[in-house]
């Protein structure tokens, strides 16, 4: 069920393994969109971890994509702008990681960034 979250300042549908959010109030199809985005993300999580590993391996002390995967935490996914952010990642105490995806299948991942 969608609700407005003060924490995210957005409308969210929260699962145990992902948060899907919209900054503008979404239409009635948002529950199906959230389920589809979450499932697609989970199907492609290993590839996502590999792309992130390639971008951060020189910045953080990580051994491989599995190590990255264990430290990412719950993703916050915005289907409106195609962005995924990891606010709870455990690479260190001050950085967050995000990336943009260009398609609903998470096969085209760009702009991995480390902020903090």
Domain ranges of the chain: 3-115
Q: Is the pTM of this model over 0.95?
A: no
Cα dist from 49 to 10, 41, 57, 67, 85, whole Å:
26, 11, 11, 9, 13
Q: For 82-103, how does the pLDDT look when each residue is reduced to its tens digit (9 = 90+)?
A: 999 999 999 998 999 999 999 8
Interatomic CA distance for residues 68 and 2, integer angstroms: 30
H/E stretch holding 33 reads helix 30-43
* pLDDT for the residue 109: 92
Cα-to-chain-centroid distance, residue 10: 15
Ramachandran area for residue 111 (φ above 0: left; ψ -120 to 50: alpha; else beta): left
């Amino acid at each position: 069920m969608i609700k407005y979250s003060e924490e995210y300042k957005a409308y969210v549908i929260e699962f145990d393994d992902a948060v899907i959010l919209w900054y503008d109030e979404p239409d009635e199809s948002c529950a199906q969109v959230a389920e589809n985005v979450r499932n697609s993300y989970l199907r492609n999580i290993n590839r996502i971890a590999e792309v992130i590993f390639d971008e951060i391996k020189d910045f953080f002390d990580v051994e491989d994509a599995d190590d990255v995967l264990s430290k990412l935490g719950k993703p916050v996914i915005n289907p409106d702008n195609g962005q995924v952010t990891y606010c709870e990642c455990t690479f260190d105490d001050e950085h967050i990681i995000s990336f943009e995806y260009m398609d609903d299948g998470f096969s085209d991942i760009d702009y991995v960034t480390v902020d903090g």
